[in-house]
């Protein structure tokens, strides 16, 4: 029986594109005693795979933590499936603020020691003695109390692009780091202050609030459902947002906009920007903030060294990485001497700029185009992309529009092209076309001819 993925991310993206279904991105968690996490994991995979569920799910003896996407028309069937388990009956599903059909490209369900790495020994305190949950309106009201201390339970790369005004934003890379730091920082206020905490979807606060109550803090509160549920409630109830900027998310989107305010800078040039990217060098994959201008200039790289690396022959890149812990084995979280404008710790609450309204749908509707092919390969050293002509015809001087989940939306004019290896001015269905491209072309990319 198949209990693993057999398709690559590019192949999965192509299937999603062909299916043409709207997908929902959502998350949920539940603390519960699971006797056999491995059997539970396999049962979920068997049930969810036919529903085209994709995502990253962790299960442990203490419960489940899930971030995933699925076709919108499978939502209620999926909900019924998870509610077959008693501990997930009536569970809140945090539906994303912004949806992206390509937020996840494979189904990964892993058995872990814990569903959130907190570094705590749960046997030493009552993990069910949690803080008081607050809805959005209650949360905003408590923020107005001068005796309230607001704490962001997320990491530096999350809070940098968006946070609640006035929050303490620890300069940490992991959740487990934040707990002793915050405890020490608030030591003098165990009895006289309201400790109000928040995170992305609520799961980190579930454990943190119990931990702080165990440590003697008397008045502990947490934002119910985290930033995601807060945003849903303020939008529905027309409540002013106390959150400013973007909410970082752990999928291909890397963020969803809550307000139009930009409160962070491009880590390379300092321009107002809150778009994260992962370094294109497979030996780095550093997570950092990069504006469109630097993205084009540096080809998604974080440093000149990585820029040079991606232009070496693939065999040489692999040789240089040999014996190092690189690529998908690590997740370097936005700290490097190469990033001149990185900020963390004490962050600003004053907007640096306003985000432009999303134009993706407008562009698709406004630009007249016809599909002609799909991506095949990209030769990094020569910066040449190859795509297969599937229909129609193109000529030198035509403008191509290339769309893809990772590539984004690119436009290029055909100055010179090779058709089946030879210089030519025309290509038709069945031809393989190569041309210079200032960006990487991927198998999941669609190639259009602008009319």
Question: Whose CA is closest to 344, among 404, 422, 384, 287?
Answer: 287
How many CB atoms are closer than 10 A to CB 357? 8
Residue where a domain stops, chosen among 199, 217, 237: 237
pTM, two decimal places:
0.78
> Residue 439 above 50 pLDDT?
yes
87 plus 146 within the same structural domain? no
pLDDT at 332: 58
Q: Report the domain count for the chain.
A: 3
Q: Is residue 312 part of a domain?
A: no
Contact 197, 131 (CB under 8 A): yes
Q: Is residue 233 part of a domain?
A: yes
Q: Is residue 33 part of a domain?
A: yes
105 plus 128 within the same structural domain? no
Alpha-carbon distance of 232 to 316, in angstroms, equals 49
pLDDT at 358: 54
Q: Is residue 319 part of a domain?
A: no
Span 23-47, pLDDT tens digits: 999 999 999 999 999 999 999 999 9
* Stronger pLDDT, 4 or 192, i.e. the higher one: 192
Residue where a domain stops, chosen among 171, 203, 237: 237
Q: Is residue 327 part of a domain?
A: no
Residue 393's CATH number:
2.40.30.10
436 plus 377 within the same structural domain? yes
pLDDT at 328: 44
How many CB atoms are closer than 10 A to CB 138? 14
Q: Is residue 182 part of a domain?
A: yes
88 plus 172 within the same structural domain? no
* Total residues belonging to the chain: 451
> Could you tell me the pLDDT band of residue 264, with boundaries at 50, 70 and 90?
very high
pLDDT at 367: 67
85 plus 126 within the same structural domain? no
Span 215-258, pLDDT tens digits: 999 999 999 999 999 999 999 999 999 999 999 999 888 999 99
> Residue 363 above 80 pLDDT?
no
> Residue 2 above 70 pLDDT?
no
* Stronger pLDDT, 335 or 334, i.e. the higher one: 335
Residue where a domain stops, chosen among 191, 210, 237: 237
> Could you tell me the pLDDT band of residue 10, with boundaries at 50, 70 and 90?
low
pLDDT at 252: 86
Lowest-confidence pick of 91-95, 332-336, 391-395: 332-336
92 plus 131 within the same structural domain? no
> Could you tell me the pLDDT band of residue 281, with boundaries at 50, 70 and 90?
confident
Alpha-carbon distance of 89 to 81, in angstroms, equals 10
Span 137-180, pLDDT tens digits: 999 999 999 999 999 999 999 999 999 999 999 999 899 999 99
- In the chain, helix, strand, coil percent, each to 5? 30, 25, 45
Q: Is residue 87 part of a domain?
A: yes
Tell me what the pLDDT averaged over the chain comes to. Answer: 89
95 plus 52 within the same structural domain? yes
Cβ-based neighbours of 213, under 8 Å, separated by 6 or more: 129, 130, 131, 220
140's enclosing H/E stretch is helix 136-143
> Could you tell me the pLDDT band of residue 283, with boundaries at 50, 70 and 90?
confident
Q: Is residue 326 part of a domain?
A: no
pLDDT at 16: 81
* Stronger pLDDT, 405 or 247, i.e. the higher one: 247
**Residues with catalytic roles:** 199
**Quick one: tokens of 209?**
């609030």
Q: What ranges make up the beta strands (E) of 74-207?
A: 94-95, 107-111, 132-134, 148-152, 162-164, 194-198
134 plus 229 within the same structural domain? yes
Contact 441, 421 (CB under 8 A): no
Domain range holding 145? 122-237
Angle formed at CA 288 by CA 13 and CA 333, multiple of 5 degrees: 95
> Residue 325 above 60 pLDDT?
no
* Stronger pLDDT, 11 or 436, i.e. the higher one: 436
24 plus 86 within the same structural domain? yes
Give me the mean pLDDT over the 374-383 stretch.
84
18's enclosing H/E stretch is helix 9-19
> Residue 331 above 70 pLDDT?
no
413 plus 438 within the same structural domain? yes
Residue 94's CATH number:
3.30.70.100
371 plus 410 within the same structural domain? yes
> Could you tell me the pLDDT band of residue 317, with boundaries at 50, 70 and 90?
confident
50 plus 146 within the same structural domain? no
Residue 209's CATH number:
3.40.250.10
Span 54-73, pLDDT tens digits: 999 999 999 999 999 999 99
pLDDT at 114: 94
């Amino acid at each position: 029986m198949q209990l693993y993925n057999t398709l690559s991310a590019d192949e999965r993206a192509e299937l999603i594109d062909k299916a043409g279904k709207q997908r929902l991105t959502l998350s949920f968690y539940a603390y519960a005693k699971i006797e056999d996490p491995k059997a539970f994991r396999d049962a979920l995979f068997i049930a969810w795979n036919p529903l085209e569920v994709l995502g990253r799910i962790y299960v442990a003896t203490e419960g489940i933590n899930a971030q995933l996407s699925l076709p919108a028309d499978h939502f209620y069937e999926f909900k019924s499936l998870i509610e077959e388990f008693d501990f997930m009956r009536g569970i809140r599903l945090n539906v994303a603020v912004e949806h992206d059909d390509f937020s996840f490209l494979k189904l990964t369900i892993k058995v872990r020691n814990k569903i959130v790495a907190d570094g705590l020994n749960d046997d030493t305190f009552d993990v069910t003695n949690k803080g008081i949950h607050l809805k959005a309106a209650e949360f905003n009201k408590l923020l107005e109390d001068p005796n309230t201390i607001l704490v962001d339970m997320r990491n530096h790369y999350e809070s940098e692009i968006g946070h609640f005004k006035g929050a303490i934003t620890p300069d940490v890379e992991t959740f487990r780091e934040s707990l002793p730091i915050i405890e020490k920082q608030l030591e003098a206020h165990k009895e006289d202050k309201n400790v109000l905490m928040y995170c992305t979807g609520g799961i980190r606060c579930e454990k943190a609030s119990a931990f702080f109550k165990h440590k003697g803090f008397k008045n502990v509160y947490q934002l119910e459902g985290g930033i995601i549920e807060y945003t849903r409630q303020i939008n529905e109830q027309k409540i002013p947002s106390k959150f400013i900027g973007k909410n970082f998310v752990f999928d291909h989107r890397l963020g969803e906009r809550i307000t139009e305010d930009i409160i962070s800078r491009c880590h390379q040039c300092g321009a107002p920007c809150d778009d994260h990217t992962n370094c294109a060098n497979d030996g780095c994959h550093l997570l950092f903030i990069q504006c469109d201008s630097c993205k084009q200039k540096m080809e998604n790289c974080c440093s000149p060294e990585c820029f040079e690396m991606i232009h070496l022959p693939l065999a040489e890149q692999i040789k240089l990485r040999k014996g190092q812990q690189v690529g998908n084995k690590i997740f370097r979280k936005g700290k490097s001497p190469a990033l001149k404008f990185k900020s963390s710790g004490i962050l600003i609450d004053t907007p640096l700029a306003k985000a432009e309204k999303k134009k993706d749908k407008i562009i698709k509707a406004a630009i007249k185009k016809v599909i002609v092919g799909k991506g095949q390969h990209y030769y990094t050293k020569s910066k040449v992309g190859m795509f297969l002509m599937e229909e129609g015809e193109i000529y030198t001087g035509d403008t191509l529009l290339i769309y893809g989940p990772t590539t984004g939306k690119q436009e290029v004019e055909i100055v010179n092209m090779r058709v089946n290896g030879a210089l030519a001015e025309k290509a038709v269905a069945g031809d393989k076309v190569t041309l210079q491209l200032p960006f990487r072309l991927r198998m999941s990319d669609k190639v259009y001819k602008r009319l």
